[in-house]
Amino acid sequence: LAKTTQPISMDSYEGQEVNITCSHNNIATNDYITWYQQFPSQGPRFIIQGYKTKVTNEVASLFIPADRKSSTLSLPRVSLSDTAVYYCLVGVAPYNQGGKLIFGQGTELSVKP
Amino acid sequence: NAGVTQTPKFQVLKTGQSMTLQCAQDMNHEYMSWYRQDPGMGLRLIHYSVGAGITDQGEVPNGYNVSRSTTEDFPLRLLSAAPSQTSVYFCASSSARTDSSSGNTIYFGEGSWLTVV
């Protein structure tokens, strides 16, 4: 499984757009990029997944450059309820890696009023 | 639909005691996993299973045992509890059917808070 590097923490204010970048220099050809969100005292939940270019859903956008060595999770107009830890995972589909998902440190996002 | 159910939610153990954390899912998922999360840290994979009768080690398996006798249940056993095993434990399940609507979603339980004194 490819190793990922993310910032440990980020601060933002309500209404701002937040971009969290993840580096995965040794990503393999068959690897997908998946982001999870974890609120305090809860298990992580799936946000978005992509392979290349851009993916958008009702929660976030995921930007992946052509070399796929990094990816950026974009959260539009964050609110206080977006305060959470965000994890970037890289691995071969099927998306859930046969249950063998390896989570890194994650990025702790703090949204302030 | 209960999803992933973990019991107990809170437990205090004395060093050397053994106990089992229970995990059950009612979604007929093939894949199940156990993670631990220490304060301020990310999740670390303890053990995982790709189906009934099949288990494998994750990143931090020492001191833990698992079995998967049925699709629904994946208990985690602490053989001889140590203070270093004080943590929050999460059980997760997911489907092997990637063409299903839930193929890209992992479902987590609500966590079990374990303190070893």
Q: pLDDT tens across B8-64, in order?
A: 999 999 999 999 999 999 999 999 999 999 988 888 999 999 999 999 999 999 999
Among B57, B51, B56, smallest CA distance to B25 is for B51
How many interchain CB pairs under 8 A, A with B?
74
Is B22 touching A (CB cutoff 8 A)? no
Q: How many residues does chain B have?
A: 117
Per the DSSP assignment, residues forming a β-bridge with B53 are none
Is B39 touching A (CB cutoff 8 A)? no
| The predicted structure's pLDDT at residue B100 | 47
- Res. A97 pLDDT band, cuts 50 70 90: low
Among B83, B84, B107, B78, smallest CA distance to B95 is for B107
Interval A43-49 mean pLDDT: 87
Q: How far is CA B33 from CA A20, A57, A85, B54, in A?
A: 27, 27, 20, 12
Is A99 touching B (CB cutoff 8 A)? yes
How far does the CA of residue A77 sit from the closest CA of chain B (Å)? 25
Which of B32, B59, B110 has the CB atom closest to A102's CB atom?
A: B59
- Say yes or no for a CB contact (<8 Å) between B50 and A98: yes
| The predicted structure's pLDDT at residue B57 | 94
> Which residues on chain A are in Cβ contact (under 8 Å) with B88?
41
Percent of chain A scoring above 70 in pLDDT = 91
Percent of chain B scoring above 70 in pLDDT = 92
Q: CA-to-CA distance for A73 and A55, rounded, in angstroms?
A: 10
Q: Taking the mean position of all CA atoms in its chain, how far away is CA B106?
A: 13
- The whole-chain average pLDDT of chain A stands at 89
